[in-house]
Chain A
């Protein structure tokens, strides 16, 4: 079975541009998580969904960030406008709530904002 799929794997953009990161969770998983990882702050939870509904977005740093999950197999994280301090690796993870909380991580998107 395919794991969590993320695209793009690398993104380089200029400050002020809109960035959209994409995630396809493992089929059948009902939880989807978006994380950001930097050297300074480590791995931080941004937002998570259960059955496509946002449950906790308290980790979203500011209004420039938004996330959607229009269906069970797709989610996006959008940054508009992007800033250099948004440079990080963004991970998507999914889990099956009924079997415990093991989260399976995607390969990540390395975002560089110039």
Chain B
């Protein structure tokens, strides 16, 4: 079973701080990595994807990938209460199927 592991949280950060969400995966052959955000009672929505080692920035979000360590992270700068949600890490192992972690719950406090 190819695993994607996330700390379930909740991760609590004050408004304006940096939130750091982490994910590890077991399949060394994985090529594509995704971060989805899911608000309570809603469906997941894609925030970012990353394919290459290093950092990828999009607005307040930065995805970081280290394939040697089998580690992917998501940084959220200037966190807002509206960022409070569950963040799902997903790994594409083969084909177009995604293997999701169980998610990290983020709470941004005013």
Q: Which residues of A contact B (CB under 8 A)?
A: 31, 33, 41-45, 48, 50, 55-56, 91, 95, 97, 100-108
Contacts and interface: CB of A to CB of B under 8 A. Distances in A.
Contact of B43 (A44, A97, A106): A106
Main secondary structure of the interface of A (DSSP, over half): strand
Contact of B97 (A42, A48, A100, A106): A48
A105 B45 contact: yes
Interface size class of B (residues with CB under 8 A): 10 to 19
B99 A101 contact: no
Interface of B: 32, 34, 42-46, 49, 88, 92, 95-103
Contacts of A31: 96
Contact of A42 (B32, B46, B101): B101
B43 A91 contact: yes
Contacts of A33: 97-98
B102 A56 contact: no
Contacts, number: 51
A102 B99 CA distance: 13
A95 B49 CA distance: 14
A50 B43 contact: no
Nearest to A4: B43
Nearest to A44: B100
A106 to B, nearest CB: 6
A99 to B, nearest CB: 11
Contacts of A103: 46, 98
B96 A48 contact: yes
A50 B100 CA distance: 20
Given A33-B97, A42-B102, A108 B92 contact: no
19 contacts: A33-B98, A41-B102, A42-B103, A43-B44, A43-B102, A45-B98, A48-B95, A48-B96, A48-B97, A56-B95, A91-B43, A97-B96, A101-B34, A101-B49, A102-B49, A103-B98, A104-B46, A105-B43, A108-B43
A78 to B, nearest CB: 21
